[in-house]
Amino acid sequence: MIFTIDLKCVYLASYIHTFLTLYCPMKKTFTFLFALAMSFGMVASAQTFINEDFTATTGTAIPATWTQVTTGTDGGFKTGTATALSSTYWTVPTATGRVVATNDDACNCDKSNELMTTSSMDLSAASSVYIKMDAFFYAATIAPATEEATMEVSTNGGTTWTSVYTFVGAAGWQPLTVNISQFAGNADVKIGFRYNDNGGWMYGLALDNISVYVPAQFDVALTSNDMAEYVVQGAVPVVGTIYNAGTATITALDVTYTVDGGAPVAATLPGLNVAPLTSYSFSHPTSWNASTPGTYAINITIAQPNGSADSSPNDNSASATVNVATQAVTALPLVEEFSSNTCPPCASFNATFIPRLQANNANTSNGVVSVVKYQMNYPSPGTDRSYNADCATRSTYYGVPGIPDPYLDGVNTGGSQAEIDAAAARLAVMDITVNAVYAGNSVTADVVVTPYANFAAGLKLYIALVEDSYSDSGTNGEIEFHYIMRKMMSTGSGITMPAMTPNTPVTQSRSFAATFGNVTQGSFNLWGTDFEGMTVVAWVQNIATGQIFQSAIDESLAVGIQTPEAIAFEMYPNPAQDNLSIRADLKASSELKMNVYNSLGQLVDSKSFNFNGSGMQSINYSTNTLTDGLYMVQLVSGNRVSTRGIVVKH
């Protein structure tokens, strides 16, 4: 049992960017978005053969006229509320009323051939037949097994079956419509729902609102009003998406929009070719002249598919609230990641994720993204020294049950370059500037937020002091750590922003008195011996939705103290056993001083070297006098200073 649970955890860590929401014993959840089709209310048809929402079932029994076969020891498919049918690692999303489900996670039994069958239907008089349902299914792979689910049709009382649909994985309920007209004209038609765990300990399949019906010829739904929440004043396209739930291909459609209930702007979309059971995204021929900044209600209505009445007009209208901004600027997306040096999957993920962030010049003046990482105190032994209360506060806000867990602009991400590029391509209707002033052991961040649209009071400004790089040793093999949050200068709960109007800057300032070295779990101490290698990152976030509007980093060098120029140097091997080789790039003949500090920030060795000439110079240093552990090697040449970490292991 323990071994199988670990496989579920490994599955989650390995397939970090998939369309699912799963749990593992390391208390890890990945939640990712899945593009779902919309549901369209009650079925409008000339005839309905089955319309089952399971409200008439009692206990856990499936409908009385339905049957099932199962190899499981739990009875197979059962009915009940979503909560009642859920289990530890498979949570059926909230649904209205009752649903039907087979739960392999709860049973952990043989569900290699589970088949639930509807009652027989006489389709002999029908020429077109659709089946519509809501489905919840992960399609997960936990090596070596992959769970499968299919919808099948029999025309001979269940003797033989033809597969008509294979369920795909998603994070929530999927509204589905499938054309089964090839079986029209048969007098004994049954629908089967088959689940197969392929011998693994998997998750399950849940279904609801199953309807088999004769579709209408013209049934078009406006599935979404696709207007952006923020737009820039000027000509703004009015856009939406339709779905053809009827049997006729849609070649023309009337589309009308209003602004704040004003005069309708009508047009006919000609030249369409929207096949049955497909979607189409449209743009109204007449753009909206959004000349004045403010907040507006845009309502879109569709009608007259192919010049005919829509059989189901109740789903033909959708509204959106749109904020008009005076201008837009380039967005600087924010990456946040929850990680730990005791988490093996974190090491695997960071091995590719951190180099990708570095390739995007993260946390630099010409960077594509800003980055803040939070180290956590789990899994066991949970000894990561960079964990503190501010990490816990941000974890609680996001509801992070485990790690690794990356976010991009407040939304779970797989961390791919394509996702970063898409986030960086958007325009932001807010600008942020950060000026960090360092003096002694104190840093003060002055943050100016300039909105270009109206923003209601209650947004949060966060200011994080981030350590660019340090070395440490945990239990997962990582020794180099980057972009680590050491202190939320705004506090972990952020600064509540007032209502903001276009082009009116709002300034916030926060200070932090730092302690250098002796980093212990729960402390806000910095790993370095001064502010070198620190970055202040600021962002504005809607805490209700998670949306991040803009981020920024400080581009000032230390003001109030002299910021030393860095020395480029490399050390190898790392970990070092008996000897350490150092190559340092010197600009001129000079004395080079090497200081070695232990993990508590205490000086344990110091040596000086004299070099004649510039360029790369080599040092051989014996580590025999050092005990096993983490050390910081600092090189000083005039006013140039650099520090890097090394692990000694004899």
Range(s) of the chain covered by CATH 2.60.120.200: 2-214
Give the pLDDT of residue 600: 61
* 650 neighbors 578 (Cβ within 8 angstroms): yes
Return the closest-CA partner of residue 188 out of 211, 162, 157, 163.
157
**3-state SS class at 208:** strand
Which segments of 399-441 does DSSP mark as H helices, in order?
417-425
Query: What's residue 12's pLDDT?
Result: 40
The per-residue pLDDT for 341 is 96
Position with higher pLDDT, 648 vs 431: 431
Contact 182, 150 (CB under 8 A): no
Per-residue pLDDT tens digits for 387-430: 999 999 999 999 987 799 999 999 999 889 999 999 999 889 99
Task: Kindly provide the residue ranges of all beta strands, DSSP E only, lying in 187-293, ordered along the sequence.
Answer: 190-196, 204-215, 220-225, 230-232, 234-236, 239-244, 253-259, 265-269, 279-283, 288-290
How do residues 288-321 score in pLDDT, each as one tens digit?
999 999 999 999 999 999 999 999 999 999 999 9
Taking the C-alpha atoms of residue 53 and residue 333, their distance in angstroms, rounded to an integer, is 43
Would you state the pLDDT for residue 402?
A: 79
Q: Determine the straight-line distance between the first and last CA of the chain, rounded to whole angstroms.
A: 38
Fold entry, domain 220-325: Immunoglobulin-like (2.60.40)
Q: Does domain 2-214 have CATH number 1.10.10.10?
A: no
Tokens of 220: 């078009």
What pLDDT shows up at residue 598? 75
Instruction: Kindly report the CATH class assigned to 329-553.
Output: mainly beta
Give pLDDT tens digits for 491-515: 999 999 999 999 999 999 999 999 9
User: Range(s) for CATH 2.60.40.2550 in the chain?
Assistant: 569-648
**What token pair was written down for 517?**
């070295």
Residue 539 has pLDDT above 60, yes or no: yes
Q: Given a cut of 50, is residue 5 above it in pLDDT?
A: no
The burial of 249, by beta-carbon neighbours within 10 Å (0-12 exposed, 13-18 middle, 19 or more buried), is given as middle
- Pairwise CA distance, residues 550 & 539, whole Å: 6
Per-residue pLDDT at 275: 97
Q: pLDDT above 70 covers what percent of the chain?
A: 90
Residue ranges, CATH 2.60.40.10, the chain = 220-325, 329-553
What are 608-634's pLDDT values in tens digits?
988 887 778 888 999 999 988 777 788
CA atoms within 13 Å, Cβ hemisphere of 612 = 0
Provide the CB-side half-sphere exposure for 190 (13 A, CA).
20
pLDDT at 599: 62
The CATH-assigned architecture of domain 569-648 is Sandwich (2.60)
